[in-house]
Amino acid sequence: MQKLLIPHGFVLSQVTIHKYMKELGLRSIVRRKKPDYRKGSAHKVFPDLLNQNFYAEKPNRIWCVDFTYLYLKDGKVRYNCTIIDLYDRSVIATVNGAHITTELALRALLIAVKRHKPAKGLILHSDQGSQFTSKEFVRSCEALFIQQSMSRTGCPYDNAPIERYFNTLKHEQIYLFEYRTERELDAAVAEFAYAWYNRVRPHTFNGGLTPAAARVA
């Protein structure tokens, strides 16, 4: 804040700025330390079928999935698993849980499959996290006729669309409010994804259309 004010002719100390922000009811957004993830052994790792080509000709041809972390007011962490469709960047499943597990990933996947009923051969792109390389997840994908695709190790750009969504979720929703209970946070994440992001918020990828509008255009 101090650096932002200097070009406008205001040279104030951090103490003074803090005092005025407190009087105005303003607060800084402080990013918390990223929680540690427990790494497990991989059952099977798949090649990257996308190679950063994040385009799909039709809905339900290529989905991206990943985890992120969210915080309650008391500092308790919640993990979110979201799946988006590369055709229009719509969120097709988003779920929260207390732990980052294969079970949470499968919850999101089964919700997405039940709602959208993709044809055989759908590509599901993820990182090489143990939740996606586990025997349970791999076998579930095989049973659903889903092709798995995975980013290279340590290369978040290989799954950039879902990273962008998480960035939007946090800066336009999570960082702006405090959540006292798990129910409050879970409801806010679902409402942001399905009601706001999919149906109200214009998306540059869709030429200014919302994901919902682009899906039926």
pTM: 0.82
Range of the domain at 6: 1-30
> What pLDDT does residue 30 have?
47
Contact predicate 95/81, CB 8 Å: yes
Per the structure, the count of domains in the chain is: 2
Same-domain check for residues 2 and 79: no
Same-domain check for residues 17 and 72: no
CA 154 to chain CA mean position, Å: 17
**Could you read off the pLDDT of 45-97 as tens digits, one per residue?**
999 999 999 999 999 999 999 999 999 999 999 999 999 999 999 999 999 99
Q: Which one-letter DSSP state was computed for residue 193?
A: I
Q: Which residue has the tokens 């990257």?
A: 48
pLDDT mean for each 10 residues of the chain (217 residues): 54 62 59 53 88 98 98 97 99 98 98 98 97 97 98 92 98 97 98 98 97 96
Paired tokens of 178: 């405090």
Count Cβ atoms below 10 Å from residue 3 Cβ, excluding itself: 6
Note whether residue 49 is domain-resident: no
